């Protein structure tokens, strides 16, 4: 009778009579899992999520950098185009001015010194005051530097 009680007690406590190890329970009860859909632990899920964020950031970084550099280049090209249009307008105006023969003659007289046949050109040169001599340094008596140095070594005063 005692053996029956021991075996009944073993069945209720879940220990085996062989080595005292716990018995495995039947798989009828569902396990509570925290692994989610792919049976990953929360740390692994966080690592996978971080990896996905990094991959997405890197895949977006290169095209974004290209877009920003091209946008800056486009702005620079647009400003250069505006400057060139202004320059073209100025040159067209200058071309129109030079299409008048009187303007061409005035330019030739002023810039190149041309005269008509029979005219006597005069060139007036305004005299300029002579440049003042450079200021002399104190103690400069017209003696070369090496003589001044030699005199200082000898202790002579100049």
Q: For the chain, how big is the Rg over CA atoms in Å?
A: 52
pLDDT tens string 126-152 = 988 888 877 766 666 777 888 888 988
Alpha carbons 81 and 68: distance in angstroms, whole number: 20
- Would you say 138 and 130 are in contact if contact means Cβ atoms under 8 Å apart? no
Per the CB < 8 A criterion, the answer to whether 97 and 89 are in contact is no
pLDDT one digit per residue (tens) for the chain, 158 residues = 555 555 555 555 555 455 555 556 555 555 555 555 567 788 998 999 999 999 999 999 999 999 999 999 999 999 999 999 999 999 999 999 999 999 999 999 889 889 999 999 888 889 888 888 777 666 667 778 888 889 889 888 75
Would residue 14 be called left, alpha or beta, if left means φ above 0 and alpha means ψ between -120 and 50 degrees?
A: left
Distances (CA, A) of 74 to 81, 82, 86: 10, 12, 19
Q: Strand locations in 56-152, DSSP E?
A: none
Return d(Cα 115, Cα 105) in angstroms, integer: 9
């Amino acid at each position: 009778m005692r053996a029956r009680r021991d075996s009944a007690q073993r069945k209720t406590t879940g220990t085996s009579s062989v080595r005292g190890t716990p018995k495995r329970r039947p798989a009828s009860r569902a396990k509570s899992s925290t692994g989610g859909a792919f049976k990953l632990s929360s740390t692994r899920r966080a690592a996978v999520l971080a990896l996905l964020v990094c991959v997405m950031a890197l895949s977006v970084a290169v095209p974004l950098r290209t877009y920003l550099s091209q946008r800056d280049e486009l702005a620079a090209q647009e400003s250069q185009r505006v400057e060139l249009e202004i320059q073209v307008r100025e040159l067209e105006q200058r071309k129109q001015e030079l299409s008048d023969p009187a303007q061409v003659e005035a330019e030739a007289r002023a810039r190149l010194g041309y005269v008509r046949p029979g005219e006597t050109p005069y060139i007036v040169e305004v005299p300029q005051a002579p440049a003042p001599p450079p200021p002399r340094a104190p103690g400069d008596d017209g003696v070369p530097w090496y003589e001044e140095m030699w005199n200082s070594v000898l202790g002579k005063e100049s």
